[in-house]
A = this chain, B = another copy of it.
Amino acid sequence: MGILHQEKITDQAEIQKKIDEKYMRQAILQAKKAYDLDETPIGCVIVHEGKVIGRGYNRRNTDKNPLAHAEITAIRKASRKIGDWRLEECTLYVTLEPCQMCAGAIIQSRIERVVLGCMNPKAGCAGSVLNLLDMKEFNHQVQLEIGVLGEECSALMKTFFKELRMKQKMKKKSLAE
């Protein structure tokens, strides 16, 4: 019985992993839209009862708007879809660990679960600099899953910044000539 029970838990975990990867792939597609605009490639989807109800990608420079982060856009769209400021029973998938504003918006909208691609050691607020998603002082805490398709999310960021440095180097070179 013990072994069967263990197998059942492993099966459930395996199914959840597949589901999480499916939606993280959609978040990565969003991140690639940012990439195509020369924006830091961060993408986000919000899922409710098996349906994507909000999508977003980073458009901060394009829109000249400090609020145009992937998560904020996805939350705005999801709450419009649901017709409520409360996004309880929703899961948010994002390719990069959220900043303090987006982690705050996740708490404010009472999102139940957050699935992260890769971490942001210098500025992330879901465990790196601090963890706003799980503070007992606030009236809401979030279930957190880290590292889903993490390598793919991280590779996207690395390629972006490598290209950015190359572009900046070439620009400097052409200015010097």
Q: Which chain A residues have a beta carbon within 8 Å of chain B's beta carbons?
A: 60-61, 63-69, 72, 75-76, 79-80, 83-87, 99-105, 107-110, 123, 125, 129-130, 132, 135, 137-139
Contact at A79–B101, with CB atoms within 8 Å? Answer: no
Q: Which residues of B contact A129 (CB under 8 A)?
A: 135, 137-138
Contact at B64–A84, with CB atoms within 8 Å? Answer: yes
Minimum CB–CB distance for A97 against chain B, Å: 13
Contact at A100–B99, with CB atoms within 8 Å? Answer: no
Q: Which of A79, A102, A108, A110 has the most CB of B within 10 A?
A: A108
Sample of 23 A–B contacts (CB below 8 Å): A61-B85, A64-B79, A64-B85, A65-B79, A65-B85, A66-B75, A66-B86, A66-B87, A66-B108, A66-B110, A67-B75, A67-B76, A67-B108, A69-B108, A99-B104, A100-B100, A100-B107, A101-B104, A101-B107, A102-B104, A123-B138, A129-B138, A130-B130
